Amino acid sequence: MNRPRGRQPRRQARSNADAPAAIGQRIEVTLERLTHDGRGIGRWQGRTVFVEGALPGEQVQARVVRARSKLIEARQEQILQASAERQPPRCRHAELCGGCSLQHMPHAQQLEIKQQALAQQLQHFAGVQPAQWTSALQGPAYGYRQRTRVSVRWDGRRQALEVGFRQRASNDLVAVQECPVLVPVLQPVIAELPALLRSLASARDLGHVELIGTEQPALVVRHLGTLDAADQQQLAGFAAHHGLALWLQPGDESSLHCVSGDNSEPSYSLVDQQLRLSFSPGDFTQVNAEINQAMVNQALDWLALQPGEQVLDLFCGIGNFALAMARLGAQVTGIEGSEAMVLRAQHNARINGLEALHFFSADLSKPLELPADSPSYTAALLDPPRDGAEQLVADLAALGIERILYISCNPATLARDAGILATKGYGLVRAGVMDMFPQTSHVEAMALFRKH
């Protein structure tokens, strides 16, 4: 039916309180508590606001970076009333760099929110809590990181090379002159590296640069074109000045080669187990040596392996856990998706006199297939990537593994997988966080499950 002509009804004006916040708008918020990733939570015009860089009890002016009907995400720009807990960031780049977002927060508080994050995820996704919470594994708050990747990008408009770390919530680079979380040997390198890279004739052909500060420190340069002899000589001289070996990578990881300095591959030690593990600069290794040693020690303690016991080490990498378990006399089978890392693990077993270990490659995101002549395993350790091990934990439960030790870099997927194990008759015996990345919101955790 046609509406009769005449005066049309007036639409009710939206009140200011109903109007959404605009991107870039400045708002004032008082923060009440923290999220699991260290952001402050407050209210503004009836909406929940998450403010990066703010602490409970603070009143801040923040700029909106994302807005939905009931949720606002913002970044702190001015502190109107500071918390007594606030501390000045040690790094001058903390406000922009995307690496260390918690430098304004006391280290003890960082550990507390990480433990809370783990507990909340376990309760929310799995409805479980451990029979025993353990104290966080912790080490130095700064000077711990022994590997870092430096981004480089050629700016064609300015005809200049940009060098630095990724800016927070942006693809832009922050030109850095310091990085206090790096191990001491890399501190002067990060300060002097940008000028060196910009001076190269082939600067526009650079890919990225990696710094490694382990027992054989290294400078790894990925380049997309040919480095001329003068550039190589400059890089080699810089590396030698800082006690680094120079590695070049003109293509994929198989093209990595050492061109100056100590021609041996980088390595690190597990002193408590009297082990030395070598690796290629392209291999995954833990960046925090002190926490890695503490993590290995705790894993051995929690598993309480007996000599001769058959153990699976899944996502075994270069043998970080497998060799330590074998040193105790366990019979270890290590499985890893990368064939190159399997070869590395086999090499590390040989150089440490542990040739009885068995390693093979398999896609661990698919159903687990063990050789027909495999022994009966009583324990398993897994250290999966961020997406967890949903299929794998179900397979381990089907094998009737008595004890499962789960090393996690993502509490959400750990909690999801804990829920699967709970439905399969496993109890969560112990859990706790490991402060592998102080000053950041990354949460690493260890959890031990035992079959009822």
| Geometric angle at alpha carbon 103, from 99 and 106, rounded to 5° | 145
Q: In 10 A of CB 9, how many CB atoms?
A: 6
Residue with tokens 């909690």: 415
From residue 214, give the alpha-carbon distance in Å to each of 143, 253, 278, 406, 416: 13, 19, 10, 26, 34
From residue 76, give the alpha-carbon distance in Å to each of 31, 51, 60, 118, 439: 11, 6, 6, 26, 17
Strand order in the sheet with 310-314: 132-133, 426-434, 444-451, 403-408, 379-382, 310-314, 331-336, 358-361
**Which pair of structure tokens corresponds to residue 28?**
């004032």
DSSP summary character for residue 22: P
Please name the residue ranges forming H helices in 81-199: 107-121, 187-199
Beta strands in 59-190 (DSSP E): 59-67, 71-81, 132-133, 147-155, 160-166, 173-174
Q: Which of 97, 179, 258, 409 is catalytic?
A: 409
Nearest to 338 by CA among 279, 381, 287, 422: 279
Q: Is 409 a catalytic residue?
A: yes
Report which residue type is found at 71.
L
Distance from the first to the final alpha carbon of the chain: 70
Distance of CA 207 to the CA centre of its chain: 22
From residue 3, give the alpha-carbon distance in Å to each of 12, 145, 449: 19, 71, 69
Active site residues: 409
